């Protein structure tokens, strides 16, 4: 093995640092940088509070739904959309054919997150006759980054995607039977907690 090949092999064997699923290091910074989250949640993070501790505090609060909204804003868009996709998929609700097709578009974008798939998902969501949880998730994909449309270079406001993600998960929760909502919400938050853990 020549020295150049050996160097490449040694570099490949090195442990890579973990990639954070979060937009900011702390919830306090998130609330400062994206103030829209303040309009949608009742609670506020402490300056030195880490993300997982804040998530667990929200879960134990009188408005545990705030944990859903916090997750939607705290995670980077692709991770937040995947989390919401899993929430909708595992909710066990019977979906219409149109919603199943929308979920397929969302899943396809998470695997192949190019602009073509993003625009295709956005267009399907914009023309959907009913704003279902899957449609909100499709809108979140459309607003997740880049130009809003191929012929419109205007940037998308940073709060649009997390608001759509929050709407998707909370409306899914609202469609649940009343006696299942707390169980389902706990499951959604437990799934979210994986985004906040550092391994």
Instruction: Read off the pLDDT band of 10 (50, 70, 90).
Output: very low
DSSP string, 89-105: HHT-PPPPHHHHHHHHH
**pLDDT one-digit tens code per residue, 50-94:** 999 999 999 999 999 999 999 999 999 999 999 999 999 988 778
Question: Given this model, what pLDDT does residue 19 score?
Answer: 63
Contact between 26 and 45 under an 8 Å Cβ cutoff? The reply is: yes
* CA dist list (Å): 95 to 91, 99, 110, 160: 10, 6, 20, 24
User: What local confidence, expressed as pLDDT, does residue 5 receive?
Assistant: 44
Whether the Cβ atoms of residue 93 and residue 175 lie closer than 8 Å to each other: yes
What pTM was computed for the model? Answer: 0.88
Q: How far apart are CA 99 and CA 181, in angstroms?
A: 21
Q: Are 75 and 87 in contact (CB under 8 A)?
A: no
């Amino acid at each position: 093995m020549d020295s150049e090949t050996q160097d490449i092999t040694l570099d490949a064997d090195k442990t890579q640092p973990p990639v954070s699923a979060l937009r900011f290091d702390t919830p306090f910074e998130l609330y400062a940088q994206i103030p829209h989250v303040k309009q949608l949640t009742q609670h506020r993070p402490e300056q030195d509070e880490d993300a997982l501790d804040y998530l667990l505090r929200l879960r134990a609060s009188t408005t545990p739904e705030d944990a859903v909204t916090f997750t939607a804003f705290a995670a980077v868009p692709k991770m937040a959309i995947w989390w919401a996709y899993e929430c909708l998929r595992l909710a066990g609700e019977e979906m219409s054919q149109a919603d199943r097709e929308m979920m397929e578009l969302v899943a396809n974008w998470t695997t192949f997150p190019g602009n073509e798939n993003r625009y295709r998902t956005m267009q399907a969501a914009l023309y959907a006759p009913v704003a279902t949880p899957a449609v909100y998730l499709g809108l979140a994909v459309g607003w997740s980054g880049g130009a809003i449309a191929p012929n419109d270079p205007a940037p998308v406001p940073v709060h649009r995607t997390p608001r759509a993600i929050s709407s998707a998960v909370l409306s899914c929760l609202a469609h649940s039977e009343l006696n299942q909502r707390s169980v389902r919400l706990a499951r959604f938050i437990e799934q979210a907690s994986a985004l906040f853990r550092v391994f």
